[in-house]
């Protein structure tokens, strides 16, 4: 893989290979699941949180949070992850109902979409992540009544390595339509690594394939160091996200895809908050203001 050595993403070397960033998202999904006005359901999420020593005492229900939704981390940030889960769930299901039968989840982490979404017949879900992460997930799910609702294929490979060969070797067919998801991943990758990922997706995708990814606008991230969201994350669970994000310039991945036959659209998370009637809205010194969700479809080969 082309690119410099990525920064520590918080996914390796913690709790048997699963890092606190993956556990943070799992805790957010657990909280979302138990809300009265839930946007997404993930009944497995709290089991991951409780199984890892680093997160065993974290809240998994909003009533366990003293300030409730006023808490920047377990209220607002967790609601952000719940909204993102719902939006990307909807994207994936639209894509497979439009004809794609191969779904590739980059940095799959503790994603349980293979188990919790209603997939059409014939779908194959490829989960790419480090071996330790996938092993942790397997261990937790093996103790639960968890059965995949589609064919699930794990691809234990580091995204710094030759994941293309690993994916095609696991059965992925570049000649068939596919849908790809890079959720909460690109923030951590250097520019060259993101460009390699996008170029590889393009080469492995036939017309009718689709891709969703999350990115940040080009801006000095240190401007947000004192934002309530990042401050609460550092103080409450010891994760300094700004030290984990790659500080280098970001590529124009959407423009690159458009030049290769993809149509793209971009939204802010707040667009979907307004659509669903719940979720985060803009606030002063907002660490979420630069987040963008991109959706692309390959219209020509």
Per residue in 68-122, pLDDT (tens digit) is 999 999 999 999 999 999 999 999 999 999 999 999 999 999 999 999 999 999 9
Task: Quote the strand ranges of 78-147, DSSP E.
Answer: 102-106, 124-129
pLDDT in tens, 1-55: 433 333 333 334 334 334 789 999 999 999 999 999 999 999 999 999 999 999 9
Surface-to-core class of residue 169, CB atoms within 10 Å of its CB (0-12 exposed, 13-18 middle, 19+ buried): exposed
Handedness of CA 240, 244, 250, 256 (dihedral sign): negative
Q: Which residues contact 109 (CB under 8 A, 6 or more apart)?
A: 11, 18, 22, 25, 129, 133, 137, 184
219-241, pLDDT tens digit by residue?
Answer: 667 788 899 999 999 999 999 99
- List the domains of the chain with CATH numbers: 20-298 (3.40.50.150)
Q: What angle do CA 293, 297, 301 make, to 5 degrees?
A: 145
pTM value is 0.93
The gap between the terminal CA atoms of the chain, to the nearest Å, is 23
């Amino acid at each position: 893989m082309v690119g410099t050595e990525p920064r520590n993403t918080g996914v390796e070397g913690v709790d048997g290979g699963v890092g606190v960033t993956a556990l943070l998202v799992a805790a957010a999904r657990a909280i979302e699941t138990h809300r009265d006005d839930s946007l997404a359901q993930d009944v497995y999420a709290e089991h991951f949180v409780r199984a890892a020593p680093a997160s065993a005492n974290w809240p998994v229900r909003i009533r366990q949070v003293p300030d409730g939704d006023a808490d920047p981390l377990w209220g607002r940030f967790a609601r952000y992850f719940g909204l993102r889960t719902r939006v990307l769930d909807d994207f994936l299901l639209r894509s497979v109902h439009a004809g794609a039968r191969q779904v590739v989840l980059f940095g799959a982490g503790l994603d349980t979409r293979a188990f919790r979404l209603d997939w059409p017949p014939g779908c194959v879900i490829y989960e790419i992540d480090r071996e330790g992460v996938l092993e942790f997930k397997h261990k937790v799910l093996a103790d639960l009544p968890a059965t995949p609702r589609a064919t699930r294929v794990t691809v234990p490979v580091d995204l710094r390595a030759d994941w293309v060969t690993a994916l095609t070797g696991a059965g992925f067919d570049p000649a068939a339509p596919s849908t790809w998801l890079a959720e909460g991943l690109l923030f951590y990758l250097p520019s060259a690594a993101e460009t390699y990922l996008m170029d590889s997706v393009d080469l492995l995708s036939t017309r009718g394939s689709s891709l969703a990814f999350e990115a940040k606008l080009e801006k000095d991230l240190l401007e947000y160091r004192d934002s309530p969201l990042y401050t609460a994350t550092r103080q409450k669970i010891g994760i300094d996200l700004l030290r984990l994000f790659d500080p280098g310039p970001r590529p124009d991945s959407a423009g690159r895809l458009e030049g290769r036959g993809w149509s793209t659209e971009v939204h802010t998370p707040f667009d979907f908050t307004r659509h669903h009637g719940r979720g985060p809205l803009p606030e002063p010194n907002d660490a979420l203001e630069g987040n963008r969700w991109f959706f692309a479809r390959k219209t020509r080969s």
